[in-house]
Structure 1
Amino acid sequence: MAMGGGGGGGHVRGRRRARKRPLSEINVTPLVDVMLVLLIIFMISAPLLTVGVPVELPKTDASAIETDNEPITVSIDQAGAIFLDQDEVAYDALIARVTTVASGGRGAATERAVFVRADGRAPYQAVARVMARLSAGGFTKLNLITDTAATDTAG
């Protein structure tokens, strides 16, 4: 009898060892919980990060645009003054002057491309107003000209 009792005790110990074995599967529930919390944090904080970041928009790596005919160039200097080619133009007379230059004795003046060149330090409001005015005047081919120079590490 003593042997039978000893065999039964060893059998119970074997079961306990089988239950205490480490699990080979990873519990992904805590991982998913942490990832969802991080996703929510990044979704809330991402729009706030773009507001305070100083950027210099006029410098890009975009390629040059090729056109068939000579485009009309409207420039905006640092103070917000508007120039048509080399001549200064009042904001109210912009559409009339651009239409006159665009027609050049030919019809379909609004089909010509208009290049808007703005100083990097020009007020954004001035650039937006000029582009909106040109768009409202019927010019659909508006291009904002930027510096295509290679990015410099010193600047």
Structure 2
Amino acid sequence: MGAQMAKRGGGGGRRRRRGQAAAMSEINVTPFVDVMLVLLIIFMVAAPLLSSGVPVQLPETAAGALPQDEERPLTLTMTAEGEVLVQDTAIDRNSLIPRMRAIAAERTSNAVFLRADGTIPYEQVAQIMGALNSAGFTQINLVTSGDGPTLDSAGGE
């Protein structure tokens, strides 16, 4: 009579004890994705705060946002105190045109964003716009706050 014994576990390789798991050979990407999403949210919140930090009370209109270029936008700010700032640097009104011509020569875009306090007389804003135009900036974008009246007859303020 021949009795046969069944082999357990295959050939003569390593045998594992009960309860021990094999070493993981793949990377767990879940913590990596979690960290990247948190960083993305932080940068999305912080990015608008990195733009020009001069406090100006912008006039309110119903105009929409303009499309963005690849180049950092050039911003000219007129404060209620009468200061004129290019990006964050104060500049004398008499040296505005030569300074802006030098900047225009270095840039690929001829666009400038004009931020003027709502209390400034229109004449002063128009003078700065004329100076920008003579310096070579033909695309002057007026920056406003987007919560203003629409002035349409269908129910605007």
Q: TM-score if structure 1 supplies the norm length?
A: 0.52
User: 1:93 is aligned with what amino acid?
Assistant: S
Contact 1:77 1:119 in 2 (8 A): yes
Matches within 5 A, 1:22-101: 58-68=59-69, 69-101=71-103
Contact 1:59 1:148 in 2 (8 A): yes
Deviation string 1:19-67 (CA, Å, 9 cap, x unpaired) is: xxxxxxxxxxxxxxxxxxxxxxxxxxxxxxxxxxxxxx92012111012
User: 1:67 is aligned with what amino acid?
Assistant: Q
Contact 2:78 2:116 in 1 (8 A): yes
Aligned residues: 91
User: 2:90 is aligned with what amino acid?
Assistant: E
The higher radius of gyration belongs to 1
Percent of residue pairs bearing the same amino acid type = 36
For the structure 1 residues 147 and 120, does the alpha-carbon distance in structure 2 shift closer, same or farther, using more than 3 Å as the test? same
User: 1:114 is aligned with what amino acid?
Assistant: V
Deviation string 1:83-122 (CA, Å, 9 cap, x unpaired) is: 1111111112112222333444x6x5xx431011000111
Q: What secondary structure is seen at the aligned counterpart in 2 of 1:93?
A: helix
For the structure 1 residues 60 and 145, does the alpha-carbon distance in structure 2 shift closer, same or farther, using more than 3 Å as the test? same
User: 1:59 is aligned with what amino acid?
Assistant: E
Query: What is the RMSD computed on CA atoms of the aligned residues?
Result: 2.1
Q: TM-score if structure 2 supplies the norm length?
A: 0.51
2:133 to 132, 135, 138: 135
Return the alpha-carbon distance in structure 2 between the equivalents of residues 86 and 123 of structure 1. 22
Runs of 5+ consecutive residues of structure 2 not aligned to the other structure: 1-57, 150-157
State whether structure 2 residue 114 is matched by structure 1 residue 149. Answer: no
Runs of 5+ consecutive residues of structure 1 not aligned to the other structure: 1-56
Quote how far apart the aligned CAs of 1:150 are: 5.7
Q: What secondary structure is seen at the aligned counterpart in 2 of 1:127?
A: helix
For the structure 1 residues 121 and 144, does the alpha-carbon distance in structure 2 shift closer, same or farther, using more than 3 Å as the test? same
Quote how far apart the aligned CAs of 1:74 are: 0.4
